[in-house]
Amino acid sequence: MKTKRILSVIALAVVSFATVQAQQVLCPSTANYDINPNNPTSTYDWTLTGGVDNTDYVLGSATGTSNSVQWITPGNYSLTAQETTDKNCKGPIQTVTVTVSEFPIVADDLTTICSTNSVQTDVVALNLATTGTNGATVNKWDITASVPAGITGTATTGTGLTSATAIASDTFTNTTSADLDVVYTITPYAGTCPGTPYTVTVKVLPDVLAPTITF
């Protein structure tokens, strides 16, 4: 007599991350990650490589269907999740590659120029810093400017400016008898990470008046 055996095959759903792509670039911050599909009877094993927990990052849940990571130290990391069903079947490991960028730090700067007149054009001639004092690469800038009364000329301003020479060709005329300061306030970015705003102060000397010749 033949005995029939019933073999049950349990199909695993492939785990994927619902809210992020396969590679993520972000600033030091807290990011949330969710599992899709979310099987309520399964557990999920999370791991993070590329740094030290509680130093370079803080990994939240070790087994939940959602997780958060507080990214602290700039660098490259791999976040993985693997499903284990209630029948102890394991699914494929899914990985998100995460690059954490730096917030750039740039020091204040100062330059002095002559007042532009009919015989002389003196430009700011100062390039914006493309490398922060912490080594971060700066790729764009937001610029505002304060131009005092007594100064004529247009200060370059804007958001998302990508040229390091953005203010280099600016010229100003000082119509007073005292030194006057044009102050640019600049927010540097490393990728999408904004640094602390810094200032570039342009001291504009008084215009040189034509001498009076007597005879």
pLDDT at 142 over 60: yes
Per-residue H/E/C for 179-191: CEEEEEEEEEEEC
Q: Does residue 84 or residue 78 have the better pLDDT?
A: 78
Relative to beta strand 57-59, strand 66-71 is: antiparallel
Burial of 8 (0-12, 13-18, 19+ CB in 10 A): exposed
CA-based nearest residue to 76, from 56, 62, 58, 59: 56
Q: Which residues contact 173 (CB under 8 A, 6 or more apart)?
A: 115, 116, 117, 151, 152, 153, 204, 207
pLDDT in tens, 91-109: 888 889 999 999 999 999 9
Write down the pTM of the prediction.
0.76
Query: pLDDT band for position 1 (50/70/90)?
Result: low
Residues β-bridged to residue 28? none
CA–CA separation, 194 and 143 (whole Å): 12
The pLDDT assigned to 41 comes to 82
Beta-carbon neighbour count of residue 126 at 10 Å? 18
Q: Which residues contact 10 (CB under 8 A, 6 or more apart)?
A: 85, 87, 89
Question: What domains can you pick out in the chain, each with its CATH number?
Answer: 16-100 (2.60.40.10), 109-204 (2.60.40)
pLDDT at 7 over 50: no
183 within 8 A of 203, measured Cβ to Cβ? no
Burial of 98 (0-12, 13-18, 19+ CB in 10 A): buried
pLDDT in tens, 13-70: 555 655 455 568 899 999 988 877 667 788 888 999 999 999 999 998 777 788 899 9
According to the per-residue pLDDT averaged within each range, which of 6-15, 67-76, 90-99, 164-173 is highest?
164-173
